Amino acid sequence: MFLAVLYIALTIVVYAAMRQLYKKYPLPFLVPIATCTFIIILLLMGSGTDYAEYMKGGIWIDGLLGPAVVALAYPLYESRRILKKYALTIVASVFAGSIIGIGSGTLLAGLFHVDKELILSLAPKSVTNPIAMDIADMMGGIPALAAIYVVIAGVSGAMFGPSLLHLFGIHHSVAKGIGLGAASHGTGTARALELGELEGAISSISMTLCAIFTAIICPLLAPFILNML
């Protein structure tokens, strides 16, 4: 029990410290979710603590994910008029984003002759972990590897997503929310909430729609692309 409390406290302290660092130096590489994860990994490796041992405390933090997702209903309700106004745009954009997310990863990996099993694990990278793992398993991929790709997509989106949006002149709150939610699922949504309440609300809708579209499209599109190569 003591170790569980210690790991909870360690995670909170490291995250709080990285958040303060990011506030002082708001650079993409210093996004708290990335730096905190990196430091926790180094601490676990340095102390010889395995992941299962750490999760005795980490599971309590992980359990807060559900209530956090439910809490997104409030900004959605507050933004309901804008959601209705841009409903068609949101659905069409997320649908297109889902196809691009699946197709780009599958096509590029196929062109570089990556093993088929790895490609099928990569294809559902832009949706939340449980869904991505189920899709990968359904297609003959490796669920555990799919989870790693999901984490990479989420963290990289949180780190570089806002900068890329700015670089390409995308400043509309709805567009930013769609992009972060469709490309980087829950992690992107957390980053979108830092940009504004509307961005977070749109991103949560985008994340949900992307999961639905990907679950339907991915088992059809990814094998089709592989067969064409």
pLDDT beneath 50, residues of the chain: none
Four-point Cα dihedral 87, 125, 26, 42, nearest 10: 150
Write out pLDDT tens, residues 9-50: 888 899 999 999 988 988 888 888 888 888 988 988 888 888
Q: CA 214 to CA 139: how far, in whole Å? A: 13
Q: CA 136 to CA 213: how far, in whole Å? A: 15
Q: Which residue in 221, 62, 39 sits closest to 126, CA to CA? A: 221
Residue type, 55: M
The pLDDT assigned to 1 comes to 64
Residue type, 172: H
Q: CA 16 to CA 117: how far, in whole Å? A: 39
Helix H segments across 48-142?
51-62, 65-71, 73-78, 80-85, 87-111, 116-122, 129-139
- Per the CB < 8 A criterion, the answer to whether 125 and 208 are in contact is no
The pLDDT assigned to 128 comes to 85
Task: Enter the pTM of the model.
Answer: 0.84
Q: Which residue in 58, 13, 20, 64 sits closest to 39, CA to CA? A: 13
Write out pLDDT tens, residues 144-165: 899 889 989 998 998 899 999 9
Residue type, 72: L
- Per the CB < 8 A criterion, the answer to whether 157 and 188 are in contact is yes
